[in-house]
Amino acid sequence: MSEVRLRFAPSPTGYLHVGGARTALFNWLLARKLKGRFILRIEDTDVARSTQESVDAILQGMEWLGLDWDEGPFFQSDNFPLYREHVEKLLSEGKAYRCYCTPEELEAKREKALAEGRKPKYDGTCRNLTEEIPGKPFAVRFKAPKDGVTAFDDLIKGPISFNNEELDDLIIQRSDGTPTYNFTVVIDDASMQVTTVIRGDDHVNNTPRQILLYEALGYPVPKFAHVPMILGADKTRLSKRHGATSVMAYRDMGFLPEAMVNYLVRLGWSHGDQEIFSLEELIEKFSIENVGKSAGVFNPDKLLWLNHHYINESAPDQLAELLIPFLKEREVDPEGGPSLPAVVKTLQERSHTLLEMADGAVFYFRSDFDYDPEAVAKFLKPDVAPRYEALLAKLDSLNEFTHDAIEAAFKELCADQGIKMGQIGPPVRVALCGGTTSPSIYEVIEVLGKEETRKRITRALDSVRGG
């Protein structure tokens, strides 16, 4: 019984956001590193706010990132009898009690306490009631100790302790009979034998209450690791104002999951000076001890840099597959033109995202594009006509239509005509792609092929001649 068991337990009230994804990733990495089990559990006790769409979105996000789970997904809503059983147990042992205070009464007390500068803590009105009040709705409260200290050694933050007098008697079962979060999370983690709880540090204040519950129930207390939150550029909690927060939105913006994983893991964790990690390396090198204690700012520029790195490293065939949806969005049919992997190859080192790559690829598949007016004014002057003609002739004479042969042809042409590359390159680029930005024209010509290249240069030639 030395196997580590970790879990990711999101509540299905929205998509998988980057913070949750990082928490899931840390859990997954540790499970894989220690050859333990990774459990996925959906915390849907709040029936009103939980949706199936959210469950699907979370699963989809996990899959995109490559975070597979060994057990689950489990749903808390399937465990209600189990929770009820535990409530009964605590009740019968006198470790919990029925509270007949209404939410309205409690709210009034809370406001009064706040107004008088006291702590808004439950006053214990029903704590010592000896008899049940038949027919009156009640919630069940946990009878927490009034003194003493509850402490734990957080794997990330170190020793943390709370005076029990700060904790009040929390509600473990609502008056409608449903259990509350702090209770279900304890029952589930205990019954699933979770050994290490890695979660967001917004939960540290819940931890002592949960420890008390573990102890009251007679379950072993797991280890805790609270990971710091992710902030936006202005150091406030990351939100939509800062850009996308859903991991799937990053896929849609043309990011690779490898980049996302690499970025997320390095936000808060480090291994010396290393920046680039394959998944295998992460599993080998990840350790919870090296996760930092302080919150981190999400830096889109660095994500972009990593994404470029992974685009550059990826096989053109695979990128081509991933690029297709982006091309279709631009109403480009990749079937009808040059080889997509060949196109991809010319764009890899100059693309930070697949979206950028798609934008750069469009011209390959359209021959009827408009010329950029500025480029026309600058490069499509009458004196390029003879150069276009010479180029056409030169290309016709080529035995093999390869990058190197094409480059050689341009060199010869420059020598023949006594011109520099700068006098022929830009006009050719405009002819081929309509603007002044593109991959190397040798590559473009090779990928386009002789026939299409001819067509485009001829078209530009006509244009220059005023036709």
Partner RNA sequence: GGUCCCAUCGUCUAGCGGUUAGGACACCGGCCUUUCACGUCGGUAACAGGGGUUCAAGUCCCCUUGGGAUCACCA
Q: Please give the biggest Cα pair distance in the chain.
A: 107
**Residue among 240, 328, 381, 411 flagged as catalytic:** 240
If the CB atoms of residues 273 and 396 are measured against RNA, the closer one turns out to be: 273
Which C-beta is closer to RNA: that of 204 or that of 324? 204
Minimum CB separation of residue 11 from RNA in Å reads 3
Q: How far is the CB of 242 from RNA (least distance, A)?
A: 12
Measured distance CA(188)–CA(40) in Å, rounded: 11
- Closest CB to RNA among 63 and 153? 153
Kindly give the pairing relationship between strand 37-42 and strand 71-75: parallel
Burial grade of 48 (CB within 10 A; 0-12, 13-18, 19 or more): exposed
Q: Are 330 and 357 in contact (CB under 8 A)?
A: no
Closest distance to RNA from the beta carbon of 3 (Å): 26
Q: Rounded to a whole number, what is the distance in angstroms from the first to the last CA of the chain?
A: 83
Answer positive or negative: Cα dihedral of 443, 446, 449, 450. positive
DSSP labels, 184-215: HHHHHHHHTT--EEEEEGGGGGGHHHHHHHHH
Which C-beta is closer to RNA: that of 333 or that of 416?
Answer: 416
Peptide bond into 73 cis (omega under 30): yes
Rounded CA gap, 398 and 406, in Å? Answer: 8
Could you tell me the smallest distance in angstroms from the CB atom of residue 364 to RNA?
Answer: 14
* Structure tokens belonging to residue 154: 């957080």
Residue 95 falls in the annotated catalytic set: no
Q: Is 252 exposed, middle or buried (0-12, 13-18, 19+ CB in 10 A)?
A: middle
Q: Is the CB of 44 or the CB of 189 nearer to RNA?
A: 44
CB of 333 to RNA, least distance (A): 25
Select 234 or 331, whichever has its Cβ closest to RNA.
234
Task: Provide, rounded to whole angstroms, the least separation between the CB of residue 247 and RNA.
Answer: 18
374: helix, strand or coil = helix
Side-chain half-sphere CA neighbours of 214 within 13 A: 22
Smallest separation, CB 2 to RNA (Å)? 24
CA distance 433 to 369: 8
Nearest to 214 by CA among 172, 168, 169, 183: 183
Distance CA 156, CA 227 (A): 7
Q: Which is nearer to RNA, 175 or 314 (CB)?
A: 175
Could you give the residue numbers annotated as active site?
240
